[in-house]
Amino acid sequence: MDCIFCRIIAGEIPSAKLYEDDSILAFKDVSPQAPVHFLVIPKEHIPSANALTAENVGVVAHIFETIPKIAAQLGVTDYRIVNNCGEAAGQTVHHLHFHILAGRNLGWPPG
Ligand code: DGP
């Protein structure tokens, strides 16, 4: 298995887990860009947003309903959700993931 996030899901690489259920996992980003920075990923290996289909997109709704609960546990109500799709957009790990950033003022537009 050469996907780093699949290896995190499998427990082969340690992570600071914040939430886990049958279909998704949330854990702190190893390279935080804000005081609060965590990732939420589907357990199914979906390479990017470009690989979403009618069959697998339901997990994205589950991710989005779970994000506010995790944020609330961390004491934040204002946050940014980021998905980098494709290398030119900044995607470095080719397993669908959503960044949640909070705890500082976030500029717009992003770089
Ligand atoms: P992106 O550039 O959008 O593909 O974001 C990938 C993020 O994944 C990046 O912010 C760093 C994070 N990351 C990469 N490897 C690991 C790891 O082994 N553990 C954790 N916790 N995060 C990782």
When mean pLDDT is compared across 46-50, 76-80, 107-111, the lowest value belongs to: 107-111
Ligand 1 atom with the smallest distance to the CA of 90 is: 2
pLDDT band for position 99 (cuts 50, 70, 90): very high
* CA pair distance 106, 88, nearest whole angstrom: 21
Residue 37 among the catalytic residues:
no
Cα 56 to averaged position of ligand 1 atoms, centre (Å): 22
Distance CA 64, CA 22 (A): 15
pLDDT at 1 over 80: no
Does 31 have pLDDT greater than 90?
yes
Output the CA 55–ligand 1 centroid distance in Å: 26
Which ligand 1 atom is at minimum distance from the Cα of 13?
18
Res 111: pLDDT: 78
pTM exceeding 0.75: yes
